[in-house]
Amino acid sequence: MKIGTPKEVMEGEARVAMTPDSAKMLQKLGYDCAIETGAGDKAGFPDAAYEEAGVEIIKTAAALYKEADVIAKVQPPTDTEVKRLSEKKLLISFFWPGQNEDLMKAAADKGASVIAMDMVPRISRAQKMDALSSMANIAGYRAVIEAGNNFGRFFTGQVTAAGKVPPAKVLIVGAGVAGLAAIGTSTSLGAITLAFDVRPEVAEQVESMGAEFVYLDFEEDQEDGSESGGYAKPSSPEFREAQLAKFRELAPDVDIVITTALIPNREAPELWTEDMVKAMKPGSVIVDLAAEKGGNCKLTQKDKKIVTDNGVTIIGYTDFPSRMAKQSSLLYATNIRHLMTDLTPEKDGQVNHNMEDDVIRGATVAHEKEVTFPPPPPKTK
């Protein structure tokens, strides 16, 4: 069978789903590999690098879709791309099935199978295929770099002949995958780093990374914001008030705020209010990684950078992984390669779409002319 990767068509998307290295591994599984010419250019992988890795270069997307049995890409398919699918073809990409029901139905009607990378169950066995985590890790790192780029001072404190420089103070709200990556980056740059999450079990992780966990002045401090699967649940009004009171206290003191707080299947909780922005010092920076879901900061504008009247920069970009396209492509292509390994138990270049396998079943949203989303809960951990 042949695995093909087309050029991404979404404007601004610089990632690519197959790299020369991943192609070599896919060939070891028995597959032929192909890319559309120029597919890796924006991520720093020219056609020549693919050719050297034994990848066929195909001139047009139409020809690639025709020739490949498995199409691996990053963004969900467009209508045109779905029309190019046909019976027995397998599409692997981010898909966001809850938001793309028509697309999913159209792919199922075509008889194609679809594996949504965003639906890979977050169980231990599937970590190597967990593209949500690999991309969140990059977003957390890049959020700190972006903040630093817009902040006029050092992160680390210094004593120089020209004067003493205090360290920057960074607050990370939400210590999931992106938040922990941001904490690691911020502490390694030397900033005083504070972090908060509604899930108390992350306090230890935060502290082990050299950051300070922010505890609330909350009588029933025992409120546990954890839901099943390691995700958060909405807070009680009292807990939320205590959280906002603590943030109000911190706002004049912190230089950089990175917000990453999300609750599955909901709009992002609003945690950094207008008065907190107003209380911040001029030159401070907020990076809102929840911008896609409405933002944790009241003033965030999706995909924009704004500067408020009191001189606070608020960044609401939603394409952080694409801004580090080489790194993201390397990790995403590796996630796909691991998925293909599980789909190819015989290493014979033939897909065995085993719907009894929890991970494959969980991520499959269309198969044998049926929409297979939502999946049943996984049986294993």
Indicate which residues carry an active-site annotation: 122, 127, 130, 133, 231
Other residues' Cβ atoms within 10 Å of the Cβ of residue 132:
17
Out of 122, 128, 153, 278, the only residue in the binding site for ligand NAD (CB under 6 A) is 122
Asked whether 101 and 372 are in contact (CB, 8 A), the reply is: no
Question: Any residues with CB less than 8 A from the CB of 322 and at least 6 apart, and which?
Answer: 12, 13, 14, 15, 328
| Helix spans in the chain (H) | 20-28, 47-52, 61-67, 79-83, 101-110, 131-150, 177-188, 203-208, 237-250, 274-279, 320-323, 325-343, 358-363
187 binds ligand NAD (CB under 6 A): no
361 binds ligand NAD (CB under 6 A): no
Other residues' Cβ atoms within 10 Å of the Cβ of residue 371:
16
96 binds ligand NAD (CB under 6 A): no
CB of 109 to ligand NAD, least distance (A): 32
Q: Which segment (3-11, 38-46, 78-86, 117-125) binds ligand NAD by CB under 6 A?
A: 117-125
236 binds ligand NAD (CB under 6 A): no
Asked whether 369 and 108 are in contact (CB, 8 A), the reply is: yes
Residue nearest to ligand NAD (CB): 176
Out of 23, 90, 136, 181, the only residue in the binding site for ligand NAD (CB under 6 A) is 136
Q: Which is nearer to ligand NAD, 27 or 273 (CB)?
A: 273
Q: Give the DSSP letter of residue 232.
A: B
Q: Which segment (116-124, 146-154, 277-285, 371-379) binds ligand NAD by CB under 6 A?
A: 116-124
Out of 106, 123, 216, 244, the only residue in the binding site for ligand NAD (CB under 6 A) is 123
285 binds ligand NAD (CB under 6 A): no
Helix (H) or strand (E) holding 307, with range, is strand 305-307
Out of 43, 256, 261, 325, the only residue in the binding site for ligand NAD (CB under 6 A) is 261
Give me the residues paired with residue 56 across strands. Answer: 34
189 binds ligand NAD (CB under 6 A): no
Amino acid (1-letter code) at residue 98: G
Q: Which is nearer to ligand NAD, 173 or 192 (CB)?
A: 173
175 binds ligand NAD (CB under 6 A): yes
CB of 204 to ligand NAD, least distance (A): 12
CB of 338 to ligand NAD, least distance (A): 13
Give me the residues paired with residue 116 across strands. Answer: 93
Encoded tokens for 243: 């959280």
198 binds ligand NAD (CB under 6 A): yes
Question: Any residues with CB less than 8 A from the CB of 12 and at least 6 apart, and which?
Answer: 319, 322
Residues in 29-58 that interact with ligand NAD by CB under 6 A: none
CB of 156 to ligand NAD, least distance (A): 26
Asked whether 132 and 118 are in contact (CB, 8 A), the reply is: yes
174 binds ligand NAD (CB under 6 A): yes
CB of 312 to ligand NAD, least distance (A): 20
Dist. CA 37–CA 62, nearest whole Å: 12
Give the total of residues touching ligand NAD (CB under 6 A).
Answer: 29
262 binds ligand NAD (CB under 6 A): yes
Dist. CA 268–CA 262, nearest whole Å: 5
380 binds ligand NAD (CB under 6 A): no
176 binds ligand NAD (CB under 6 A): yes
Residue with tokens 């993201």: 328
Asked whether 199 and 174 are in contact (CB, 8 A), the reply is: no
Give me the residues paired with residue 259 across strands. Answer: 173, 288
263 binds ligand NAD (CB under 6 A): yes
CB of 80 to ligand NAD, least distance (A): 31
Give me the residues paired with residue 285 across strands. Answer: 256, 313
Contact positions vs ligand NAD (CB under 6 A):
122-124, 127, 130, 133, 136, 173-179, 196-199, 230-232, 235, 260-264, 269, 271
